[in-house]
């Protein structure tokens, strides 16, 4: 941070007995501008050193190093590779948690940038390239920027801030626990007990300077499932001498879509059922004995989610029986609905509007993607928002989607994220003071 900027901030604090609304916004604005270059440099480092879920060793070490530099004491090894630091303000008040996810994805980067990832990792037993193809590198850098700002004004903060750097948002490796669910299980929202939690996600679908959020469900629940079907192997020329699991699977897939089209109240909320993988058979002229399918169920309504799960079970059982086969349905990884607490949303909406400008705050539709931030929101009131990452002059239609090799978000989008997370924290403390 430049000495001139520090002097201005120090003078402002000295001349301001209490950190009022206008004052803290001015100070946050000034400090955010002063740390932007450093935050961008951190983003580039994390991008170049992307690591897979539960394997974020270098990432966690760098986060801890940066937290120590600003005078915080990081706790490491939480939920395998998570890092947490607590900042106790100079005045009493509520406890606010701020969360950033830190893992990358098994994606081969094709962006032509000097700081492109060349990292490799092991995923499902295979050696794969690793890339921050969902913007978690920006989330880490933004939260470190917020931590730097908050430590500068620590004495004036009316409450406590818990900085949570969470691994494995993209899902734990097979057979492992991880992510927000494990962090909650290990007590990350306790000691001190968190009153509210805020999280963001940068977006390649919104322009820099825009914020998108909404009250209630903002992202869907996600339930992964596996269906195993057993029949009777026979020659493909005489199907009547066996029981065909492939025909059984085809009938199941078609019938599953009637759950959405005929059982879901779609004017109320969206539900999606997708089969993404089928494995069975070795030759064109042999009807196999077994196969399995992998799928996902997404819903924006808890009751609709439960009904869809029930109907899936009924369809699998009935169609298997009708074909003389046997089948099992098992649900694996499940994320709850990412749900913005309505009272917290109304309380903090003015902060979004003051920070970004009311014309830049979009009350957008919910999406059927999922986020394990939802596990935190099951325990305490939480608020989640999307931060624009598409640079000025770039058409949204030309911006690559998340989880793809050409995914890219611009450095210029992070400044608003730093300011917004900082102002949400301070405004919440002032309007929810204990």
* Mean pLDDT across 33-43: 98
Tell me the two tokens of residue 380: 């305490």
Distance CA 230, CA 235 (A): 16
Considering its fold, how many domains does the chain have in total?
2
Is-contact 172 357, C-beta < 8 A?
no
Q: Inform me whether the pLDDT recorded for 13 exceeds 60.
A: no
Provide the pLDDT confidence category of residue 19 given band limits of 50, 70 and 90.
low
Distance CA 58, CA 385 (A): 27
- Would you call 187 helix, strand, or coil by DSSP? coil
pLDDT confidence of residue 22: 58
- Together in a domain, 198 and 211: yes
Distance CA 186, CA 168 (A): 15
Whole-Å CA distances, 349 to 203, 216, 303, 343, 345: 19, 13, 28, 10, 6
- Together in a domain, 12 and 160: yes
Q: Inform me whether the pLDDT recorded for 5 exceeds 90.
A: no
Long-range contacts, 55-62 (Cβ 8 Å, 24+) = 55/81, 55/121, 55/122, 55/173, 56/81, 56/102, 56/103, 56/167, 57/81, 59/102, 59/103, 59/140, 60/102, 60/165, 60/167
Q: Inform me whether the pLDDT recorded for 381 exceeds 90.
A: yes
Q: What is the pTM of this model?
A: 0.92
From 25, 56, 156, 169, active-site residue: 169
Is-contact 109 405, C-beta < 8 A?
yes
Q: Inform me whether the pLDDT recorded for 112 exceeds 80.
A: yes
From 103, 181, 341, 427, active-site residue: 103
- Together in a domain, 106 and 171: yes
Known catalytic residue at 103: yes
Q: Inform me whether the pLDDT recorded for 94 exceeds 50.
A: yes
Q: Inform me whether the pLDDT recorded for 74 exceeds 70.
A: yes
Q: Inform me whether the pLDDT recorded for 424 exceeds 50.
A: yes
Percent of the chain with pLDDT over 70: 94
Q: Inform me whether the pLDDT recorded for 23 exceeds 90.
A: no
Query: Tell me, what CATH number does 321's domain have?
Result: 3.30.70.360
pLDDT confidence of residue 434: 54
- DSSP one-letter code for 151: H
pLDDT in tens, 142-192: 999 999 999 999 999 999 999 999 999 999 998 899 999 999 999 999 999
pLDDT in tens, 386-396: 999 999 999 99
Provide the pLDDT confidence category of residue 20 given band limits of 50, 70 and 90.
low
Provide the pLDDT confidence category of residue 34 given band limits of 50, 70 and 90.
very high
- Together in a domain, 76 and 181: yes
Tell me the two tokens of residue 47: 């991008």
Percent of the chain with pLDDT over 90: 92
* Mean pLDDT across 73-98: 98
Known catalytic residue at 303: no
- Together in a domain, 343 and 331: no
- Together in a domain, 247 and 385: no
Provide the pLDDT confidence category of residue 96 given band limits of 50, 70 and 90.
very high
Q: Inform me whether the pLDDT recorded for 10 exceeds 80.
A: no
Query: Tell me, what CATH number does 156's domain have?
Result: 3.40.630.10
Neighbour tally for 80: CB within 10 Å: 22
Q: Inform me whether the pLDDT recorded for 11 exceeds 60.
A: no
**Domain end point (choices 314, 335, 356):** 335
Instruction: Output the DSSP codes for 320-342.
Output: HHHTT-EEEEEEEEEE--EEE-H
- Together in a domain, 92 and 14: yes
**Domain end point (choices 280, 314, 335):** 335
pLDDT confidence of residue 86: 98
Is-contact 86 186, C-beta < 8 A?
no
Q: Inform me whether the pLDDT recorded for 90 exceeds 70.
A: yes
Structural domain including 65 reads 3-220+337-431
Strands 196-207 and 382-390: what pairing? parallel
- Together in a domain, 213 and 92: yes
pLDDT confidence of residue 417: 98
Residues in the chain: 434
**Domain end point (choices 285, 304, 335):** 335
Provide the pLDDT confidence category of residue 333 given band limits of 50, 70 and 90.
confident
pLDDT in tens, 294-328: 999 999 999 999 999 999 999 999 999 999 999 99
- Together in a domain, 237 and 283: yes
Q: Inform me whether the pLDDT recorded for 18 exceeds 90.
A: no
Tell me the two tokens of residue 278: 């089928």
- Together in a domain, 327 and 367: no
Provide the pLDDT confidence category of residue 9 given band limits of 50, 70 and 90.
low
Q: Inform me whether the pLDDT recorded for 251 exceeds 80.
A: yes
Tell me the two tokens of residue 374: 């939802």
- Together in a domain, 163 and 27: yes
Could you give the maximum distance between any two Cα atoms of the chain, in Å? 90
pLDDT in tens, 257-283: 999 999 999 999 999 999 999 999 999
Provide the pLDDT confidence category of residue 211 given band limits of 50, 70 and 90.
very high
- Together in a domain, 373 and 239: no
């Amino acid at each position: 941070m430049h000495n001139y900027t520090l002097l201005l901030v120090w003078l402002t604090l000295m001349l301001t007995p209490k950190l009022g609304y206008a004052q803290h916004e001015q100070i946050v604005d000034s400090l955010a501008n002063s740390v932007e270059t450093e935050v961008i440099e951190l983003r580039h480092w994390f991008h170049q050193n992307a690591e897979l879920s539960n394997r974020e060793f270098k990432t966690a070490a760098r986060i801890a190093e940066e937290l120590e530099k600003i005078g915080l004491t990081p706790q490491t090894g939480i939920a395998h590779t998570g890092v947490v630091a607590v900042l106790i303000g100079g005045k009493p008040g509520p406890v606010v948690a701020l969360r950033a996810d830190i893992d990358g994805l098994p994606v081969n980067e094709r962006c032509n940038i000097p700081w492109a990832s060349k990292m490799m990792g092991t995923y499902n037993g295979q050696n794969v390239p690793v890339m921050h193809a969902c913007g978690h590198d920006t989330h880490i850098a933004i939260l470190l920027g917020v931590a730097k700002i908050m430590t500068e004004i620590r004495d004036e903060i009316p409450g406590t801030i818990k900085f949570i750097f969470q691994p494995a948002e993209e899902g734990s490796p097979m057979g492992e626990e991880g992510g927000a669910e494990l962090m909650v299980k290990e007590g990350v929202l306790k000691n001190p007990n968190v009153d509210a939690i805020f999280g963001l996600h940068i977006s390649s679908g919104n322009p820099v300077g825009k914020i998108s959020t909404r009250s209630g469900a903002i992202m869907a629940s996600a339930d992964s499932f596996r269906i195993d079907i057993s029949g009777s192997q026979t020659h493909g020329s005489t199907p009547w001498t066996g029981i065909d699991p492939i025909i059984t699977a085809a009938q199941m897939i078609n019938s599953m879509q009637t759950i959405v089209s005929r059982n879901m109240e779609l004017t109320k909320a969206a539900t999606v059922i997708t089969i993404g993988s089928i494995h069975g058979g070795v030759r064109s002229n042999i009807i196999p004995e077994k196969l399995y399918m992998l799928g996902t169920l997404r819903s924006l309504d808890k009751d609709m989610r439960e009904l869809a799960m029930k109907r899936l079970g009924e369809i699998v059982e009935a169609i298997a029986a009708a074909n003389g086969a046997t089948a099992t349905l098992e649900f694996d990884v499940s994320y709850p609905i990412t749900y913005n607490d309505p009272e917290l949303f109304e309380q903090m909406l003015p902060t979004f509007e003051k920070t970004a400008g009311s014309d830049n705050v979009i009350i957008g539709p919910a999406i059927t993607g999922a986020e394990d931030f939802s596990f935190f929101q099951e325990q305490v009131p939480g608020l989640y928002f999307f931060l624009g990452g598409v640079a000025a002059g770039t058409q949204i239609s030309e911006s690559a989607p998340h989880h793809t090799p050409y995914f890219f978000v611009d450095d210029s989008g992070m400044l608003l994220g730093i300011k917004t997370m900082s102002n949400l924290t301070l405004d919440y403390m002032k309007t929810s003071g204990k």
